[in-house]
Amino acid sequence: MCLVCGIYAQVHCGFMKNSGADMDIIDVKYIQKCKFVVASGIFDGYDIPHQPSNISRRSQKLFCFLMVVDEVSLDFIQKNTTVKIDSAGGKWVGIWRLLTVHRLPFDEPRRNGKIPKILTHRLFPQAWYSIWIDGKMELIVDPLLILERLAFYLEPLDTSWWCSIDGLEWKFFCRYLWRGKYTFAVAVHKHHRSIYEEGDAIKRRKRYARPLVDLQMKMYYYEGMEPWSPKKKMPGDVPEGAVLIREHTATTNLFSCLWFNEVNLFTPRDQISFGYVARRLGDALELFMFPNCEYNSLFVLHRHTREHSSKVEWAKTVDEIVEKGLRESRGGLGLWTPYPADLSSVELPAVRRTSPAG
């Protein structure tokens, strides 16, 4: 029920048993003990697990390091790395416990990857806190430090950790939840503040079908999602979604459910829908968006094992998607459902490209 909205409303979240992302019994039993989780995921064999570094003994005992993989990725990992099996039958790559998910609900691996990323509280219902990192990343900061410290002041002469964002110098090594009393933390995007800037970049880089990205953004603009401006409370509407830091409260879980529902209904590009859902929840969500330079201090980024590409990403028109049979059969159904308003006259805000890399 959406109590924070001031009304009683039922929110569907996740999947029924045997209908999507089911885990083996031994893994279900293992995660029941996990109160603090570092989670990651690999789908369709695009990555191999990267071992975290600088992890304290305390964190090794306190945190469960859980790597969610599909059957294709498990086979790829077993052929390319050393997988150890414990006495209970659990599979391990170093500190990572591999959790194989079966009967995945979507055709598109990127969309399947959003299940453990966004619905972390549903896969690991006993967890109090979670830190999500994408499968291509190597964590290099102790997870307890990430949760514990919000503003650790550095000596004035030590400028090695200073960040510059929007022309201002940050003299704080930001840590995200406990000292700031936040329940959700994520980095501001390096280049984009507005979802319309992000959508434009997605189309230019052919990360999803251009007409469908436009359609989703037109819906959001029609429903009142204005381009980001400095007058807004948040420093940006677009996150760096590869690292998510959460306390699993009722409101944070609600946000995750609503966010996943947008990803399920529309494009799998979750950075477009993040700001829209955050705006709808307003002050109910205790969200902290930290500087991008701090985000880059948390991990080492590795390349995928191969470049991802699906045919729908290159489609230029809706007719092309239909005629060539490129439409996803089990995801993005909201893009093909009649919208209760005429969007043909909606003109998206003009976008000025702010960075060659963006």
Cα torsion 19, 23, 26, 31 to 10°: value is -120
Residue 211, token pair as written in the block: 């007409």
| pLDDT per position as a tens digit, 122-146 | 999 999 999 999 999 999 999 988 8
Q: How confident is the model at residue 169 (pLDDT cuts 50, 70, 90)?
A: very low
Q: Which of 42-46, 209-213, 243-247, 300-304 has the lowest mean pLDDT?
A: 300-304
Q: Do β-strands 151-153 and 172-174 pair in parallel, antiparallel, or remain unpaired?
A: antiparallel
> Is residue 309 predicted with pLDDT exceeding 90?
no
pLDDT tens, position by position, 174-206? 456 665 678 999 999 999 999 999 999 999 988
Q: What was the pLDDT predicted at 149?
A: 52
> Which two three-digit tokens encode residue 246?
């959460």
Strands 96-102 and 151-153: unpaired
Q: How confident is the model at residue 29 (pLDDT cuts 50, 70, 90)?
A: very high
Average pLDDT of the chain, as a whole number: 87
From the CB of residue 325, how many other CB atoms can be counted at a distance below 10 Å?
A: 9
pTM above threshold 0.85: yes
